[in-house]
Structure 1
Amino acid sequence: MRKVREKITERPGLCLFILIAALSLVGSEFSLQRATTFAESDPLQVSGRIVEVSLPASSDNYYRRIKLQVNRQTILSIGLNLNRLPADCSVDDVQRGATITVSGIYRNGKAAQNPGGFSEDNWFRSEGISGKLTSAQLITIKPASRYYSPLHKLDRFRLRSLKLLEESFTPKTAAGSSSVISDFRLSHEGIMQALLMGHTGAMTAYTSKALSEAGAYHLVCVSGMHLMFFLLPFRKLSAWTSMSFRLKRSLLSAVVLFPALLSGFGHGINRATLLFLLASLDSRVQRRTDKINSLALAGSALLILQPFAVRQNGFWMSFIAAGSLKCLSPKAKSRLVNDLISSLGVFLI
């Protein structure tokens, strides 16, 4: 026990992570307890600010799932049909930072119907959501200020990327083709959007089931594996050209942000991006940071930006997998063994 305590205390980044994780857990629970509660199944009209607009299942789908912040502790999940907006409202106005008034039927999150099944209530708590509005109808909207312009550009970039991927990779079934060919083409519908953007809304049930049965569903959770594959051609290109080491590092540090932008800054890709940037910083200051310390610093940064991540399984699975590989990797000098460990690490992370 003494050795374990010494291992922790000699790593200030790990100590900081433990402190921030504890504060995030206590603070998120306090926020959930202080949230405004409403009567179940009662009609409700609320006003608030949009803090998140999810991507649609497809670029031509006008259904949007939004998060509405009613007050400091209360956030509601609302599904809006953008084809049913008031006459004086525009589709482009429904974006982050806009202030809206909406009516609907209030519902609490549903508990899991079966052991191990999806629990809407647990998911709401992990996202800081108090409840949801069904049969929602938008009444008024006040457009967002220019302060939110960078977020709007990011959302438009992701929506355009989704449309481009759909146009490039959506299977087209020719008239008169056999049912086997049609089923095969439909079986990989939406897979490129999932692999590149982490957006699984366009995948068919068949594809999701096949990935789950193969134990490969984590492939559509954009993380370190996707980042390494994305950086591979840039690494090869920089190796073939006569770039200086500093220029090469600067180029990769800029390019590494693209997958995070494309996927909307999920936990896995954020962790991998921060670790890459920390490693890049090590080379510039000519010192080698402890790997666990770097991992803990990345986790601390993510929890500061999103405290409710401490309640999300995906956050912990991502960091536990990365930390296990860093701690348990053998110190063998065999290149074959190291390559195998690195390959395993890429696919696990």
Structure 2
Amino acid sequence: MRCKILPGTIVFALVAVTAFLTTGTRLTRQEKCLPSQEIAFEGVVTHAGHASPGDRTAARFQTIRLTDGTPAVLWMKYPARKGDYVSGLATFEIGESSRNPGGFSKRMWLWSKGVAWTGCPRLVKVTEMEGQLLWILRLPDRVRDHVRQHLASLWTSANGPLLLSLSVGDTSLLTDGQSYKLQSAGLMHLTSVSGTHLMFLMNPIFIATDRARISRRLKQWITLPVLLMPGVLSGWKSGITRASLVSIAMRLDIPMKKRRNPFNTLFLVGSLMLIVQPYALYGLSFWMSFSAAIAISFSVKTMKSAAKNDMHELTKSGKMRFRVCKYFESTIVFSSMAQLVILPYQLMSAPGIHLLAPIINVIAIPLAAYMTAATYPIIAVLSVLPAGTRAAHVATTVFAALLSPAAHAFEWLAGCVAKTAFAFLPLKWCLPILLVILLAYVSTSQASRFLREHRRIVTAIAASSLVIVSAAVFWINHGWRIVFLDVGQGDATLFISPSGYTVLLDGGDKGHGYRTIIPAARMYAVTTIDLAIVSHGHCDHAAGIAELLEVGLVKHLCLPPERASDLVPHIISRVHDKEDMTDHLVSIAKSARVPVSYLQAGECLACGDFSMDVLHPQGPICARDLNEDSLVLRIDAGGLVLLMTGDLTEAGERSLLASGRECKADILHVAHHGADKSSTQVFLQATEPDVAIISVAKKNRYGHPHTDALARLHQECPIILRTDQSGAVFLNIRRGKSTMNTWIEP
């Protein structure tokens, strides 16, 4: 039987190609017209956005269409309403692409909204506009703001962020740790309001209305508001928009006595969405939702036909057991199919594929269904109770208590799966395994007619590809791979030896462990850090390491020498630094049963093919400045010597030089982000580096790197690379030859 080409697929392909060509040209032209300085602007608010629950300032991102037709996203401290006229002074910029492998691209985020410019206005004047049409258009925004702010006490409770993400699709209150656990466990799709949530909400309504003896028209009027509620509350994101349109089309089949092809309907709905909002094709959520819907529809069609045949052979007593077994089977199949189809997108947000994800979804989906279906009635009840009253407080407390067990169980499941490192499938394994699955499928009788007719050719191509990919992944010696990550105003350097031993020196400030280090590490199939070293306890070096410890990704932790006051309590030899995270790191490591070692000058650390010498500091720390006692490490990587200096100060440099230890290096990681009081002339002459790398934030408030420090570096070092200009810096060493590349072309 020949494969029939659906009209919807042709329409979708034409619309998608047209949208890609027209929108790409338009956005690129707008980027080229970016003003180089602060300008006066005027425009109309086209998208009002929404503030985080409990945020009294109500500040938010809003989309403004300027008078020349250019759309821009502005951070409005005092937001306007949709349709209001705004004017003022602002400096605009274009969104940056990611600065690290696997990082967030602000440019794609803006493009998905149809915007190329973004900025923060210095002066703003809002002229309020009124009218009946504007009142109607603003109604969804008022509903969304009301639900977020009126129910702030619920959303900011212990389990509120999870409930908010499940019911409204707003993940702004989830911590980075919660988001990481949900992503790693394959449960993040439940926090993006989509067809799954619509199913949770609508199935009880459909069952109740179908059994009730009411007219068909009344059923439609009852189900329509409930059908639209998730879309209105979430702001009509791609997933829920697609699901709502498909659901409405399916409900129309009954009175029209038609049975539409589900795949054709999906493609036609996707075409309609791109016609209305062509910029949606730049958002991953559109493609993830669309791909998953196709996979699940295919699974439903196949399983329904099989289940129908099996049900005829069962007695009444066996039908209940059959339905229970079918539920677990269908849940695993749906989850597996959806995750297989969205595999390319999943790999962009997780350190790999978790093999337990389809199984854990069997337990997590009913929990999410209960919380989602229960939260919507709770929203309706709390929305009519006056905020701040005793009745509202009691109702919020009772509702939160009712949902607390399910929320705790859901988060506990996600945390357990995220820490099960042995079940992770790293990136380098994914393609070979997919090729093996393809070979197995081709050899079965279930393969399509095309594959059966060309079985030899397909098998030969898949087998040769498997051999080539396996050789490239497993047998080619990758040599040393060193990545100086761009973590803003902080340090984080990832070392991967030829044998696969991984060392992380510093982890950047808060959030960079989850948002920068883990995504970058997964690009190299790294699921755990064998050795994490903290040069000193300041948060811009240690906070990211703390986040990795919390999720169980560190096997061993190394710290600078202990404080003298810790060794001899009655000697107060050091003013305790409020930003010192050393005690916090030790506490987390102890609870996670991670061994802790303290390094000091004179020690040599050798682990497999990784070795380094500790040059500074000597013995217990007695100085008043954490920077002065930063660890200084001399690392030999494949014959190339790197000198890592942390935030070493001028006094620390003098102490290091006075010790007489060898400081010469091929590559110098510049101390203290290029501060004026570091990288002295004497120290640079002693190290004689060929390349200097400065880890520093773009437009930082400290003025790093300082002009005097840069002048000294240019005088002593021929090559200087900066993360604020180049993003992440890559050093590859193989067979005695080294190459350096940057993520962003300077």
Tell me the TM-score normalized by structure 2: 0.40
Counterpart contact for 1:53–1:66, Cα < 8 Å: yes
Q: Deviations over 1:276-321 (max 9, x none)?
A: 1111111111121111111012112211211111222111111111
Task: Find the counterpart in structure 2 of residue 176 from structure 1.
Answer: none
* Mapping for residues 302-341 of structure 1, pairs under 5 Å: 302-329=273-300, 330=302, 331-333=305-307, 334=310, 336=323, 339-340=327-328
Shift of 1:192: 1.6
Shift of 1:33: 3.3
Shift of 1:65: 0.8
* 1:203 counterpart = 2:174: yes
Partner secondary structure for residue 41 of structure 2: strand
Shift of 1:73: 5.2
* 1:63 counterpart = 2:59: yes
* 1:53 counterpart = 2:41: no
Counterpart contact for 1:96–1:144, Cα < 8 Å: no
Distance of 2:334 and 2:172 partners within structure 1: 25
* CA distance 1:45–1:198, shift in 2 (3 Å): same
Q: Deviations over 1:198-246 (max 9, x none)?
A: 1112223332233223221111100011111111332343245323455
Distance of 1:61 and 1:210 partners within structure 2: 30
Q: Deviations over 1:59-94 (max 9, x none)?
A: 423212111111565211110112xxxxxxxx6xx1
Return the letter of the residue paired with 1:278: A
Match of 1:113 among 92, 95, 99: 99
Distance of 2:219 and 2:128 partners within structure 1: 45
Distance of 1:224 and 1:199 partners within structure 2: 16
Task: Find the counterpart in structure 2 of residue 274 from structure 1.
Answer: 245
Distance of 2:24 and 2:155 partners within structure 1: 43
Distance of 2:187 and 2:297 partners within structure 1: 22
Identity score, percent: 26
**Stretch deviating more after TM superposition (121-130 or 266-275):** 121-130
Higher-RCO chain (CA-CA 8 Å, sequence separation at least 6): 1
Return the letter of the residue paired with 1:143: M
Distance of 2:135 and 2:233 partners within structure 1: 17
* 1:283 counterpart = 2:257: no
List 4+ stretches of structure 1 deviating above 6 A.
Answer: none
* CA distance 1:146–1:244, shift in 2 (3 Å): closer
Task: Find the counterpart in structure 2 of residue 230 from structure 1.
Answer: 201
* CA distance 1:72–1:248, shift in 2 (3 Å): farther
Shift of 1:158: 0.7
Partner secondary structure for residue 306 of structure 2: coil
* Mapping for residues 4-23 of structure 1, pairs under 5 Å: 7-8=4-5, 11-23=6-18
* 1:79 counterpart = 2:101: no
Counterpart contact for 1:101–1:139, Cα < 8 Å: yes
* 1:158 counterpart = 2:158: no
Task: Find the counterpart in structure 1 of residue 231 from structure 2.
Answer: 260
Q: Deviations over 1:153-188 (max 9, x none)?
A: 1111111111243223532xxxxxxxxxxxxx3xx3
Q: Any unmatched runs of 5+ in structure 1?
A: 83-90, 172-184
Task: Find the counterpart in structure 2 of residue 343 from structure 1.
Answer: 331
Task: Find the counterpart in structure 1 of residue 27 from structure 2.
Answer: 32
Counterpart contact for 2:52–2:172, Cα < 8 Å: yes
Counterpart contact for 2:93–2:117, Cα < 8 Å: yes
* CA distance 1:13–1:290, shift in 2 (3 Å): same
Return the letter of the residue paired with 2:288: M
Task: Find the counterpart in structure 1 of residue 548 from structure 2.
Answer: none
Distance of 1:325 and 1:216 partners within structure 2: 16
Counterpart contact for 1:224–1:346, Cα < 8 Å: no
Match of 1:251 among 216, 222, 235: 222
* CA distance 1:312–1:3, shift in 2 (3 Å): farther
Q: Any unmatched runs of 5+ in structure 2?
A: 311-321, 340-746
Compute the RMSD of aligned alpha carbons: 2.5
Task: Find the counterpart in structure 1 of residue 164 from structure 2.
Answer: 193
Distance of 2:35 and 2:330 partners within structure 1: 53
Match of 1:43 among 28, 38, 45: 38
Distance of 1:300 and 1:21 partners within structure 2: 7
Task: Find the counterpart in structure 2 of residue 215 from structure 1.
Answer: 186
Shift of 1:28: 0.9
Distance of 1:277 and 1:66 partners within structure 2: 30
Return the letter of the residue paired with 1:198: G
Shift of 1:45: 1.7
Distance of 1:341 and 1:274 partners within structure 2: 27
Distance of 2:177 and 2:236 partners within structure 1: 27
Distance of 1:61 and 1:196 partners within structure 2: 24
Return the letter of the residue paired with 1:295: L
Task: Find the counterpart in structure 2 of residue 133 from structure 1.
Answer: 119
* CA distance 1:312–1:64, shift in 2 (3 Å): same
* CA distance 1:224–1:72, shift in 2 (3 Å): farther
Distance of 2:69 and 2:285 partners within structure 1: 23
* Mapping for residues 159-174 of structure 1, pairs under 5 Å: 159-171=145-157
Q: How many positions carry a matched residue from both structures?
A: 318
Task: Find the counterpart in structure 1 of residue 268 from structure 2.
Answer: 297
Q: Deviations over 1:17-48 (max 9, x none)?
A: 222212211221232134272234x2122111
Q: Which has the higher helix share?
A: 1
Counterpart contact for 2:42–2:67, Cα < 8 Å: no
Q: Deviations over 1:76-125 (max 9, x none)?
A: 1110112xxxxxxxx6xx11111211212222212211111101122222
Distance of 2:234 and 2:11 partners within structure 1: 28
Distance of 2:216 and 2:135 partners within structure 1: 35
Return the letter of the residue paired with 2:25: F
Distance of 2:69 and 2:282 partners within structure 1: 16
Tell me the TM-score normalized by structure 1: 0.82
